[in-house]
């Protein structure tokens, strides 16, 4: 098991390296240098930038050196000082801005995955046990619609529906009086009242996919001989199904976290833009619109890194649950 974990961690190191290069390329993509944009933005807002300040920034990020040196300086600053560069739009360090918001993104993503599971697994089991029944068809049809609905459109429709029928606003994550308040018990309660809206919206397409996987897995298991044997032995149907096939059918679902996570994080970004939730989405969107590239590139990198780590955790979980994966990994 330890060997498996170490092997997996070694694999993601080159992955993270490529990620950082891609993010750096994204930072460099827009025309014009970061410094020019930074200085001109500050001048527009009426702040004069001294030559000494410019020289300090050039030295800090090695902006006068070739690109690969800039890249290594960028990485060095991140690893050693946790410095991701500066956002000229906010005139603050990128790490501060991201730190404030990344937690909520992760929270919503994880809650969404749990929500998806809680909804999809029972429905999947039901559909498999009652294959071709009315409800199976209904769930299959709803699943198709769920897959076809782009999450940002659902968000838009929900906001519109809530606004036009109940006259309430479901945007944001906190009530007005809590927005700038420090964290407290009351604020957490208030957040929980709002957080289910993005959670449900982001979860829709994932739920649809998961129901189909769960249904197919369980159907495969139900056809196996051990089920017939157990039934022949006279095991009560309910105990038989929940004790053996369901447990085996749920196993591969753990690995679905791996492919669900990128989708959920991406969905979170786009839904939070529409719903105006104070997570990474709107900040990334704003950064991209004003070409605030240190902020945007760092966002891509951190979001991707966390996704990769999440996938790693789900793989380890799966190996722990299912010895076949563990030993399959050893043989290679």
In the structure encoding, which two tokens stand for residue 280, read together?
């990474």
Residue bearing tokens 């699943």: 143
Provide the pairing of β-strand 92-93 with 86-87: antiparallel
Q: Decide: is 299 part of the binding site for another protein (CB under 8 A).
A: yes
- Identify the helix (H) or strand (E) that includes residue 93: strand 92-93
Nearer to another protein, 15 or 49 (CB): 15
Q: Decide: is 137 part of the binding site for another protein (CB under 8 A).
A: no
Identified binder of another protein from the candidate list 58, 110, 248, 266, rule CB under 8 A: 266
Nearest to 251 by CA among 222, 207, 217, 227: 217
Nearer to another protein, 49 or 329 (CB): 329
What is the C-alpha end-to-end distance of the chain, expressed in Å? 14
Q: Decide: is 18 part of the binding site for another protein (CB under 8 A).
A: yes
What mask, x for binding another protein by CB under 8 A, covers residues 171 to 190?
Answer: x-------------------
In the structure encoding, which two tokens stand for residue 322, read together?
């299912």
Identified binder of another protein from the candidate list 269, 277, 316, 319, rule CB under 8 A: 269
Identified binder of another protein from the candidate list 9, 29, 79, 192, rule CB under 8 A: 29
Q: Decide: is 282 part of the binding site for another protein (CB under 8 A).
A: no
Q: Decide: is 26 part of the binding site for another protein (CB under 8 A).
A: yes
- In the bound complex, what is the minimum distance in angstroms from residue 300's beta carbon to another protein? 5
Identified binder of another protein from the candidate list 2, 13, 14, 331, rule CB under 8 A: 14
Residue bearing tokens 């089920």: 227
In the structure encoding, which two tokens stand for residue 61, read together?
């990020």
Nearest to 284 by CA among 268, 264, 260: 268
Q: Decide: is 106 part of the binding site for another protein (CB under 8 A).
A: no
Q: Decide: is 235 part of the binding site for another protein (CB under 8 A).
A: no
Q: Decide: is 9 part of the binding site for another protein (CB under 8 A).
A: no
Round to whole Å and give the CA distance between 198 and 234: 46
Axis crossing angle, helix 245-275 with helix 151-161, rounded to the nearest 10: 60
Q: Decide: is 279 part of the binding site for another protein (CB under 8 A).
A: no
For 92, phi then psi, to 5°, come to: -140, 160
Nearer to another protein, 166 or 183 (CB): 166
For 130, phi then psi, to 5°, come to: -115, 55
For 67, phi then psi, to 5°, come to: -55, -45
Q: Decide: is 13 part of the binding site for another protein (CB under 8 A).
A: no
Nearest to 90 by CA among 101, 105, 79: 101
Residues that bind another protein in the complex, under the rule CB under 8 A: 11, 14-15, 18-19, 22, 26, 29-31, 144-145, 147-150, 152-153, 156-157, 159-160, 163-164, 169, 171, 258-259, 261-263, 265-267, 269-270, 273-274, 284-285, 288-289, 291, 293, 296-297, 299-300, 303-304, 307-308, 311
């Amino acid at each position: 098991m330890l060997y498996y974990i170490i092997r997996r961690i070694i694999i993601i190191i080159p992955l993270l390296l490529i990620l950082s290069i891609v993010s750096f390329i994204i930072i460099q993509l827009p025309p014009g240098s970061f410094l020019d944009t930074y200085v001109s933005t500050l001048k527009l807002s009426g702040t004069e930038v001294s030559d000494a300040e410019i020289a300090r920034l050039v030295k800090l990020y090695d902006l006068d050196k070739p690109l690969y040196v800039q890249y290594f300086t960028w990485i060095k600053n991140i690893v050693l000082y946790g410095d991701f560069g500066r956002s000229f739009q906010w005139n603050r360090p990128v790490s501060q801005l991201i730190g404030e918001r990344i937690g909520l993104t992760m929270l919503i993503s994880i809650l969404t995955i749990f929500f998806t599971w809680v909804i999809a697994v029972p429905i999947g089991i039901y559909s498999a046990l009652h294959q071709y029944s009315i409800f199976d068809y209904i769930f299959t049809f709803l699943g198709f619609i769920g897959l076809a609905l782009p999450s940002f459109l659902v968000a838009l429709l929900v906001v519109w529906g809530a606004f036009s029928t109940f006259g309430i606003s479901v945007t944001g994550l906190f009530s007005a009086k809590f927005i700038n308040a420090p964290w407290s018990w009351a604020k957490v309660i208030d957040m929980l009242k709002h957080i289910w809206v993005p959670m449900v919206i982001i979860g829709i397409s994932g739920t649809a996919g998961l129901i189909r996987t769960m249904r197919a897995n369980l159907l495969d298991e139900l056809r196996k001989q051990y089920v017939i044997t157990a039934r022949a032995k006279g095991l009560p149907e309910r105990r038989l199904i929940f004790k053996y096939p369901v447990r085996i059918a749920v196993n591969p679902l753990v690995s679905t976290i791996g492919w669900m996570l990128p989708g959920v994080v991406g969905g979170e970004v786009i839904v939070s833009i529409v719903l105006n939730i104070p997570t990474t989405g709107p900040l990334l969107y704003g950064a991209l619109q004003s070409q605030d590239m240190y902020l945007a590139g760092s966002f891509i990198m951190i979001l991707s890194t966390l996704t990769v780590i999440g996938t790693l955790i789900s793989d380890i979980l799966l190996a722990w649950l299912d010895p076949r994966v563990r030993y399959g990994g050893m043989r290679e």
